[in-house]
Structure 1
């Protein structure tokens, strides 16, 4: 059996934050240098409706995206000033896979948890929740899903 050829390490997936609240182009974003890992959660608050014919059915509801990422302060990170400015504000973020945009949209930084480890490195855990529509692209191509 041949080994898979499309395996990519997670280190190619990185979080970027806008330099301003109105950032739109790639040059307006800065990479969060010390980001160690990122997770994404997607959920829908579907609407349940009771019917006589089919019983209870679920209808599409509100979508929710949540990103969590960790970082450490072992190295100087130019993104920290932007993360501090973005607290409790709708702010532009991107998640890139290599050079390709994977997710992009406006998010609110809803939680920050810092801890000082035994080696003197401060570690932070950040939570983002979408504050508007989120664009999701194919991480391999950077194109919207289904684009030919």
Structure 2
């Protein structure tokens, strides 16, 4: 059996299951000062009904000529399918390795490195050289909502 999403493509149940499993990963729900409060699944954090402020990050990659690299999200993504976006967006997870909030933001840097490897196959990343800024991001698209303290990484 296959699934149709917004009339774009047909997906095997295994693909849909993998995407659903990612929504069960535990994000870091924070207060307005970015202090961790508790864990919450990606599904919970991105629900219009819950409006949970949580940590996230966006990675911007540039060529040697300072051109921004964009990518189009896969059609089978549950959150924001087929949207053109920066290189990679995700969340640090509720675990000791990625929750660290020292002055160097090492936890969020580790999360960014994990997702660069997973999403783009970029493994050799010096997290100490990442340029990091943060901001609060709120947007609502259909039934998917994002209310996050986002850390922005710039490479290149």
Q: Return the TM-score normalized by structure 2.
A: 0.31
Q: Return the TM-score normalized by structure 1.
A: 0.32
| Structure with max Cα Rg | 1
More helix by percentage: 2
More strand by percentage: 1
